[in-house]
Amino acid sequence: MCDKFIRPFLYYGFTPMIFGYGLYYNNEFTLNPFKLIPKILIG
Protein backbone atom coordinates (compact mmCIF):
# COMPACT_ATOMS: atom_id res chain seq x y z
CA MET A 1 0.00 0.00 0.00
CA CYS A 2 2.77 2.43 0.93
CA ASP A 3 4.80 1.65 -2.17
CA LYS A 4 1.68 1.98 -4.31
CA PHE A 5 1.15 5.50 -2.97
CA ILE A 6 4.72 6.69 -2.59
CA ARG A 7 6.10 5.63 -5.98
CA PRO A 8 3.62 7.60 -8.14
CA PHE A 9 3.73 10.38 -5.55
CA LEU A 10 7.46 10.79 -6.09
CA TYR A 11 7.02 10.95 -9.87
CA TYR A 12 4.05 13.27 -10.40
CA GLY A 13 3.01 14.21 -6.87
CA PHE A 14 5.98 16.40 -6.00
CA THR A 15 4.68 19.52 -7.77
CA PRO A 16 1.20 19.29 -6.19
CA MET A 17 2.98 18.78 -2.88
CA ILE A 18 4.82 22.05 -3.41
CA PHE A 19 1.56 23.95 -3.86
CA GLY A 20 -0.42 21.98 -1.30
CA TYR A 21 1.90 21.11 1.57
CA GLY A 22 4.23 23.94 0.61
CA LEU A 23 1.55 26.50 1.43
CA TYR A 24 0.73 24.83 4.74
CA TYR A 25 4.31 24.31 5.88
CA ASN A 26 5.42 27.50 4.17
CA ASN A 27 8.47 28.45 6.25
CA GLU A 28 9.71 24.95 6.95
CA PHE A 29 9.12 23.86 3.36
CA THR A 30 11.10 26.77 2.01
CA LEU A 31 14.04 25.93 4.27
CA ASN A 32 14.04 22.18 3.63
CA PRO A 33 11.43 20.55 1.36
CA PHE A 34 12.77 17.07 2.15
CA LYS A 35 11.58 17.48 5.74
CA LEU A 36 8.08 16.94 4.40
CA ILE A 37 8.84 13.44 3.15
CA PRO A 38 9.25 11.93 6.66
CA LYS A 39 6.17 13.86 7.76
CA ILE A 40 4.10 12.28 5.00
CA LEU A 41 5.54 8.80 5.54
CA ILE A 42 5.01 8.92 9.29
CA GLY A 43 1.66 10.62 8.95
Share of the chain above pLDDT 70, in %: 0
In sequence order, the 6+-apart residues with CB closer than 8 A to the CB of 25 are 35, 36, 39
Q: Does the pLDDT of residue 37 top 60, yes or no? A: yes
Asked whether residue 35 carries a pLDDT value surpassing 60, the answer given is yes
What's the number of domains the chain is made of? 1
Structural domain of residue 11, as residue ranges? 2-42
What's the mean pLDDT in 1-9?
63
Asked if 33 and 25 touch (Cβ cutoff 8 Å), the reply is: no
Asked if the model's pLDDT at residue 6 lies above 60, the reply is yes
pTM: 0.20
